A and B are shown apart, each in its own frame.
Chain A
Amino acid sequence: MRLRVDPVACAGHGLCADLLPEGITLDEWGYPLLDPLLDPLLDAEIPADLLPHARAAVAACPALALRLDPTGPDDRRHGRNRRSR
């Protein structure tokens, strides 16, 4: 499982950082920064012992901006899109 943030949906409520402090900190504007250990850029699997907390963080997000992604490494590089190529 990998954590993903939808940056458009995220409104910076910050509940995720309360529920998964091992994995999520907030930047100075209140938006979640995923810990390097869990960063989707690095495409790291969430350690099993943190999974319940990750699920709680996902469930608590008022904006439904956080999700757990069961698929493999992200070929879209952090879910961003590009100008037409």
Chain B
Amino acid sequence: MTAPPAATPRLLAEPAATHRRDALAAHLERHGPLPSPSPHALVAAVEAAGLRGRGGAGFPTATKLRSVRGRRRTVVANGAEGEPASLKDAALLACSPHLVLDGLALVADALGATDAVLAVPDATGLRRHLAGRTDRVPVRVVEVPDRYVASQETALVRFLGGGPALPTPTRPSAAGTLVDNVETLAHLALIARNGPDWFRSVGHPELPGTLLVTAGGAVAAPGVVEVPAGTAVRAALDLAGGPTEPVQTVLSGGYGGAWLPAAAVDTPLDHAALRAAGSTLGVPVLLALPARACGLTQTAYLLQFLAGQSAGQCGPCRFGLRDVATDLALIAAAAPDAHLAHDRVRRRLGLVTGRGVCALPDGAARLAHSALRVFGDDLHHHLTGRPCRGAAAAPLFPGVWR
């Protein structure tokens, strides 16, 4: 079987190679030695490559590096993966830990950092990879709480400083820390080796390179796939085995993402393209919703879960997500006063967005808004006492009941 060249994995290794005892030797065999570019050359290569951060926001990595050069003491590889539906950072660290460590070393050297941290929810099996490496700055592997808000930059910085893993209004830079997603660093390590032209040879003009995408829901082989950025949503799901049953639409961006209108399932995986289609790329997670399911009911479950993930620090998030989740459940159940619940949800979503100190309330509100929009026909039926057939079904998506 010959895979198309564009689908050749860059970050995900062959399963056979990943479990070898000499993972470092296998890594060097596959990718070659790690070069030591000057700070200027590294940033120039990352800029020419057009690398964007893979932690959700898609900010140009070179711009971020340039804004902090020479002013950071700590560099953090963020593998905390707070988005509950995403498995990509864990998959990357399981398959190619040395690419992440290479990227961390390159950035630490470029910034003259004195501290390098790999932050993960579970360090099992990771620390052994540090042996045999000759990084100038030794890497500390730090376990962070497995919770949505703990992955936020400011929460990580606070936690590494000895505090609770909770977001703060303080800029990470104020603590002398640069935080980059682990996948971003792995791409950076390949750009340093192979150059920007190689990096740009696959992907989308606005989002060069490959993406690690977590595919789930009604697909035959749920899990993490590596695809060229710009691959259509439907094509990415096909790489995860394709649909196991008729699918009505897809949730993109995970639980802090947005439902994609059914007609938009061929949208390319790119930040601007998905935004224009009414959804988001965010942390690339694609969850296929079966036709038999009720999108409003499933969204109500997700909001209930997200409300439980609130750290309770910011009032509008603490009380707003709870109240929105309660009212969405009334709508899902087609309760007699569901139209009142609907009015309250619309009002409160406006009161939640932009009023927290991290991305949680905004993401939850985005998800709820998209459900009211994409499942508009269903909503009308629920508000008039005629719920979907799947309205009483259990949660379909992972993590929601844990």
A binding-site residues for B, Cβ under 8 Å: 6-8, 10-12, 27-31, 33, 41, 76, 78-85
A37 to B91: give the CA distance in the assembly, Å: 48
Chain B residues, CB < 8 A from A30: 315
Chain A residues with CB under 8 Å of B57's CB are 82-83, 85
Is the Cβ of A83 less than 8 Å from the Cβ of B283?
Answer: yes
Kindly identify which residue among A8, A27, A29, A33 contacts B357, using a CB–CB cutoff of 8 Å.
A8
Q: A7-B314, A41-B354, A80-B357 are in contact. List 7 more A-B contacts (CB 8 A).
A: A7-B169, A8-B169, A10-B315, A29-B315, A79-B169, A81-B359, A84-B181
Contact check, A7 vs B313: say whether CB atoms are below 8 A apart: yes
Contacts of A31 in B (CB 8 A): 315-316, 355
Cβ–Cβ contact B53 & A8, under 8 A: no
**Chain B interface, number of residues (Cβ within 8 angstroms):** 44
CB-based contact A33/B314 at 8 Å: no
Give the distance to chain A from B206, nearest Cβ to Cβ, in Å.
15
Give the residue of B168, B171, B181 whose beta carbon is less than 8 angstroms from that of A76.
B171
| Chain B contact residues, CB within 8 Å of chain A | 52-53, 55-59, 61, 64, 76, 78, 82-83, 151-154, 156, 167-169, 171-172, 179-181, 184, 283, 313-317, 319-320, 348, 351, 354-359, 362
Instruction: Report yes or no: B156 in contact with A84, Cβ–Cβ below 8 A.
Output: yes
Q: How far is the CA of A85 from the CA of B314 in the complex (A)?
A: 23
A80-B78 contact given A7-B315, A85-B64, CB 8 Å threshold: no
Q: What are 27 A-B pairs with beta-carbon distances under 8 A?
A: A7-B169, A8-B314, A30-B315, A31-B315, A31-B316, A76-B171, A81-B152, A81-B153, A81-B168, A82-B56, A82-B152, A83-B56, A83-B57, A83-B82, A83-B83, A83-B152, A83-B153, A83-B283, A84-B78, A84-B179, A84-B181, A84-B184, A85-B53, A85-B55, A85-B56, A85-B61, A85-B184
Contacting B151 at CB < 8 Å: which of A6, A11, A80, A83? Answer: A83
Q: Whole-angstrom distance from the CB of A29 to the nearest CB of chain B? A: 4
Q: Which residue of the partner chain A has the closest CB to B318?
A: A29
A33 touches B351 (CB 8 A): yes
Kindly report which residue of chain A lies nearest to residue B320, judged by CB atoms: A29
From B179, B283, B316, contact of A7 by CB (8 A): B316
Those 4 A-B pairs whose CB atoms lie nearest each other, nearest first: A85-B53, A85-B59, A7-B314, A84-B78
Q: Which residues of B contact A79 (CB under 8 A)?
A: 169, 357
Q: Are A84 and B153 in contact (CB under 8 A)?
A: yes
Q: Write out the residue numbers on chain A whose beta carbons fall within 8 Å of the beta carbon of B56.
A: 82-83, 85
Q: Is the pair A78, B351 in contact by a Cβ cutoff of 8 Å?
A: no
Contact of B180 among A12, A27, A81, A85 (CB under 8 A): A85
Asked whether B313 lies within 8 Å of A82 as measured between CB atoms, the reply is no
The answer for the CA separation of A79 and B354 in the assembled complex, in Å, is 9
Residues of chain B with a CB closer than 8 A to A8's CB: 167-169, 313-314, 357
